[in-house]
């Protein structure tokens, strides 16, 4: 038996519908992340002008707790959600640190 027999055909209409939905969701995620980073960039610039620290550990903790609860309610793995949010937070802090250097 070849591996090709286990792969759905490229012209499978149901698979095409699923993939189109995934593509649309991916596009929405990218646009939402772009908007989030536009706002956090403004926050970083404000923090730099106001000489506030780039990180806010208590806010980060509250956000993680809030999003873990939202994840559970949405039937999404809260561990995955936390890793994803921590990745975003680290990137935001890096941007805020760069804003302080300007």
Measured CA to CA in angstroms, residue 29 lies from 26, 39, 76, 88 at distances of 5, 15, 16, 13
pLDDT in tens, the chain (102 residues): 555 556 667 789 999 999 999 999 999 999 999 999 999 999 999 999 999 999 999 999 999 999 999 999 999 999 999 999 999 999 999 888 888 887
Give me the pLDDT at residue 5, please.
59
- C-alpha 9/C-alpha 71 separation (Å) is 34
Tokens representing residue 84 in the block: 């994803």
- C-alpha 61/C-alpha 86 separation (Å) is 10
Helical (H) or strand (E) element with 54: none
Give me the pLDDT at residue 100, please.
81
């Amino acid at each position: 038996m070849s591996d090709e027999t286990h792969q759905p055909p490229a012209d499978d209409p149901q698979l095409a519908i699923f993939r189109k939905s995934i593509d649309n969701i991916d596009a929405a995620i990218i646009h939402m992340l772009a908007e989030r980073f536009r706002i956090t960039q403004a926050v970083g610039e404000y923090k730099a002008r106001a000489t506030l620290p780039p990180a806010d550990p208590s806010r980060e903790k509250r956000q993680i707790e809030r999003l873990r609860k939202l994840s559970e309610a949405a039937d999404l793995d809260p561990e995955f959600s936390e890793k994803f949010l921590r990745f975003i937070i680290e990137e935001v802090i890096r941007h805020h640190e760069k804003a302080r250097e300007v």
